[in-house]
A and B are shown apart, each in its own frame.
Chain A
Amino acid sequence: MLNDLRLRFRSLFKKSAVEEDLNDELRFHFDQHVKKLVASGIPPAEARRQAHLALGTHDKIHEDFRDASGVRFFEALLQDIRFALRTLRKSSGFTAVAVLTLALGIGANTAIFSVLEAQLWKPLPFPDSKSLVVVLRANAKTHGHTTLFSAPDLPDWLVAAQSSFTDICEFQGYDYYATPGHDTAEMVTARPVSAAFFQTLRMPPALGRSFLPGEQQEGHDYEVILSYAFWQKHFASDSSAVGRTLVLDGSPYTIVGVAPVGLHLEFFGDADMYVPLVPTRKNSLTRTGTGILVVARPKPDATPRQLQAQMDVIAAQLAKRYPERNADLSLKIESLPEAFTFGQRGLFFFAGAAVLVLLIACANVACLLLARGLTRQHEFAIRSTLGAKRPVLLRQLLVEGALLGAVGGALGIVAATWSANALNALLSPDFLSRTVAPRLDAGVLAFAIAVSLAASVLAALAPGLFASRVNLTDALRHNSHTSSPAPAHRRLRSAFVIAEVTMSVALLFGAGLFLNSFTRLMRAPLGFDPHNLISLGLTLSDKRYTQPQNLWLAEQQILERVRAVPGVTDAAFASQIPYAGGIGAGFSIVGEPVPPGAEKPSAILSSISPDYFPVMKVRFLAGRPFSAQDAQNSTHVAIVNENFVQHYLQHRNPIGAELDIDHIGFDTSYGNVRERIVGVVQNTQLFGANEVPFDFIYVPTAQVPVTSMNLSVFLVASTSVPPSSVVSSIRHEIAQVDTGIPVTHVATMDERVSDSLQGARGNLILIGAFATMALALVAVGIFGAIAYSVEQRTSEFGIRLALGAMPSRILRHTLKQSAILGASGIALGVVVSLALGRALGSALYLVPQQHAGLLYGVTIFDPLTLAAACALLAGILFMASYIPARRATKVDPMVALRYE
């Protein structure tokens, strides 16, 4: 077998050496024969003559020899490729357009695919990560809705599940800790992890050790493992860091290890360090308890089905033992990359747009090949009369297509390597669940090659089948310039052009919707005036701030000092500001009991200093702002937003209504506090304009107990100068009050507004880029179609003009042809777009209480946008056909007739 390949290869590519060998051998044979004849007494000259007669010519042997080499097919293919290269090089204009067209389509799809692969399919960067699973709690009654574990659930589950898994670990989202920096405190992030964390992920620490089970107990948990990056940056990769002490939130922690270099959880962002997870810890004031994530490695021989059956048994046991907490408990096993992947819908939407661009590109190249196939009919006819069979001609055209595809694909891959990261940066963060850059790996490369192959076959097959079917007599009788295309041929070309126009309408309409929706987002009411406002995040982590009077005093001192900074006009504190997210709080309205079985209402809770609304210029719809009189021991008051009133107080005067707030997030230490509503303000946003408005409750910081909510706050300051210019002065004043308060998340409110539009802007740029490609391609397509038909009919126009036809009539006649194609394509495109819009439907819209929608404020049947898209396309089509059509009127009759 190997021998066979080696010899075939040699025959194919070392042709001259093989022929040389054979010639040597035959010459030897000839000489031996002559020698024999001479030995039998024949004179040498006569012997040579007889030998020639006896042995015949060498040509036939060479032929037979090559047949015996089994390289005929490849040889023919090589010949086809050489021929195709020559013809493609000769018509360089055609080749350039076709190659660029394919490169555009293939490049766009490859870039999108590389993002899809990195986001959805690539396994996590741990050894054997595919076997890792996530265990989630679910309520058997509310199907599909899963939650994380909370601390009380954990110990019993861990005991019960030991037999199903080889390793189980738990971890949480990271927390912020203050650590002493150069002048003032700095913020670091630390992820609570269980002792088995590194072992379960098969990523043992690079230095030192993992946590010990004993360190997961309250009071024994003052150990820390540094991330590799933090260790490099802050300890200069010094191995003596292990054993040293790091102060976090005022307490000394011992560094016991350094995490390995490649440990990235990807879905959750990278923390600076790891601390022991203490499940029994009560929610402290500085730490909100968050859900606990359980990741485990099942025993190697367990099937998913068995595993789920074991979980069902455990869930039933837990439900029996703790009926109050686990009544309807079910446990769900999900594989790790899939469990946390979100945003597929958005990614697939753009992948779909890219596929449309590719299809347009294919249709374009098919049109070009078809036109060329027609001009080459003469060539094909001659070749068939000389004995070329139809498969040979078809193969020739497919080889040309494959060559175009190969070069286009190579260019496309180059373009994709350049653009994949830009694409990743443009995509809305809502679609990217993993922090991992797209890479051009083997999978992506294989995809690009497959797409190139499919595209070239798609583009070359129809023209190939058509052009290889040559009508000999017709083709030979006419020369290529005067023959008018066969009706079937013209129909095929028209079909391609119409298909291109149809798909372009869909893309243009889509882009129009995004543009429309983006301008609406830009104009969406913010509820406040973002100009000349600076915001800074402060964390008061020191223990003394858990005393309300200390916290109040520090905030007052900071506000006084900041107000005195030149350029600052006013300042306020708030636990929540627009575009920075917030915490939900459960509440009930006094006198309106929640019906049994109904979910308790919740709203975003923000604790603010009295000047917050004036500083942010939030308009009051009713009632009054807070004042200094709303103190600890006076009546507790609250302000709600417009949305809150619409939802809960529509039927009555909101002023004077009373609320009971009973918990914030996971934190139940808030206590039952009754608040009287004294004012109603405009809606402001939690994340961005593209959200269903949230309900808000504002309370004065002076009146609420100290919780995690008001220990991590924002300072907002209005300025009379560019807001960024006062940041360093404000930092200085904060340090004057307490050097232990880290300042983070500094941004002007204008920046926050702009950042909140980042996703929508990226969407618009992406779909806009695809629509622009489609427009360019369809313009080239129709230009080519009209230019070609004008060229075909040059002599006809010449005769008409010579006989006195008006040039304007010829122009009209030619334009009519493109108008018919364009109009059919646009009409079909409208139908397809509306059908597509209907099919995508809800996928294009935002989901209530989330902010992952693609469109804002427009409907998928928006008639104005659709009309604008059609008009733009019609305009482009007219321009693209007018230029070649005018050429028809400029035909010189004499020149045209001389063509004959």
Chain B
Amino acid sequence: MTVTTTRLDLPQGTLDLLILRTLALAPQHGWAISERIHQISSKVLQVQQGSLYPALHRLERRGWIKARWGASENNRRAKYYELTASGRKQLEAETTAWEKLTAAVAQILETA
């Protein structure tokens, strides 16, 4: 795996989708969320903490995720985020919408 310096800017709204998807597996703290997105995207996507924490707060206000304090792997106090029921629904809806969008865009790019 080569280290790439290319960093992609996330389109508006995609960060929310990525966070929700990341949390769908298990509750995570902020750092783990950014690391996981970084790894799974093959280090293409790097979420800045300046966007991550406001986004987490925004999702919490909308009631899609819940936050609570817990202990981290090395026993430090860390804030864990988990998906709520409505968050799960939102994730499904956004995923479907995203798939439709990307399929449509891909089709245009291939055929046009």
Seen from chain A, the residues whose Cβ lies within 8 Å of a Cβ on chain B are 3-4, 7-8, 21-22, 24-26, 28-29, 31-33, 36, 55-56, 60-61, 64-65, 67-70
B61 touching A29, Cβ below 8 Å: no
A55 to B76, CA, bound (A): 20
Q: Which of B28-71 contact A (CB under 8 A)?
A: 29-31, 34-35, 48-51, 53-55, 57-58, 60-63
Contacts of A26 in B (CB 8 A): 49, 53
Which residue of B31, B34, B35, B54 is within 8 Å of A65 (Cβ)?
Answer: B54
19 contacting pairs across A/B (C-beta < 8 A):
A3-B60, A3-B63, A8-B61, A25-B29, A25-B53, A28-B29, A28-B76, A29-B30, A29-B31, A29-B49, A32-B31, A36-B35, A61-B49, A61-B50, A64-B54, A65-B53, A68-B54, A68-B58, A68-B61
Contacts of A36 in B (CB 8 A): 35
Contacts of A31 in B (CB 8 A): 76
B30 touching A56, Cβ below 8 Å: no
Any chain A CB within 8 A of the CB of B78?
yes
Q: How distant is B27 from chain A, measured CB to nearest CB, in Å?
A: 14
A67 touching B49, Cβ below 8 Å: no
Chain B count of residues within 8 A CB distance of the other chain: 23
Question: Total A-B pairs in contact (CB under 8 Å)?
Answer: 63
Contacts of A55 in B (CB 8 A): 49
Top 9 closest pairs, chain A to chain B, by CB:
A68-B54, A32-B31, A64-B54, A68-B58, A29-B31, A68-B57, A3-B63, A65-B54, A61-B50
Contacts of B61 in A (CB 8 A): 3-4, 7-8, 68-70
- When C-beta atoms are compared, the residue in chain A nearest to B62 turns out to be A4
A26 to B54, CA, bound (A): 12
B55 touching A28, Cβ below 8 Å: no
Which residue of A3, A4, A67 is within 8 Å of B54 (Cβ)?
Answer: A67
B76 touching A61, Cβ below 8 Å: no
A627 to B63, CA, bound (A): 100
A55 to B46, CA, bound (A): 11
Among B31, B34, B76, residue most surrounded by chain A Cβ atoms (within 10 Å): B31
Which label, helix, strand, loop or mixed, suits the secondary structure of the A interface? helix
Q: How distant is B83 from chain A, measured CB to nearest CB, in Å?
A: 14
Any chain A CB within 8 A of the CB of B88?
no
Q: How distant is A615 from chain B, measured CB to nearest CB, in Å?
A: 89
Any chain A CB within 8 A of the CB of B14?
no
Among A26, A28, A29, A33, residue most surrounded by chain B Cβ atoms (within 10 Å): A29
A33 to B78, CA, bound (A): 14
- When C-beta atoms are compared, the residue in chain B nearest to A70 turns out to be B61
Contacts of A32 in B (CB 8 A): 31, 35
B57 touching A28, Cβ below 8 Å: no
B60 touching A7, Cβ below 8 Å: yes
B76 touching A65, Cβ below 8 Å: no
> Please, what's the 1-or-0 string for B75-97, where 1 marks a CB less than 8 Å from any CB in chain A?
01111000000000000000000
A478 to B53, CA, bound (A): 48
- When C-beta atoms are compared, the residue in chain A nearest to B51 turns out to be A64
- In the complex with contacts A7-B60, A32-B31, A70-B61, A21-B53 CB distance below 8 A: no
A36 to B79, CA, bound (A): 19
Contacts of A64 in B (CB 8 A): 50-51, 53-54
- When C-beta atoms are compared, the residue in chain A nearest to B73 turns out to be A32
Contacts of B50 in A (CB 8 A): 56, 60-61, 64
A61 touching B30, Cβ below 8 Å: no
B31 touching A21, Cβ below 8 Å: no
> 9 additional contacts, CB 8 Å, given A24-B79, A36-B35, A65-B57?
A7-B57, A21-B79, A25-B30, A26-B49, A33-B31, A55-B49, A61-B54, A68-B57, A68-B61
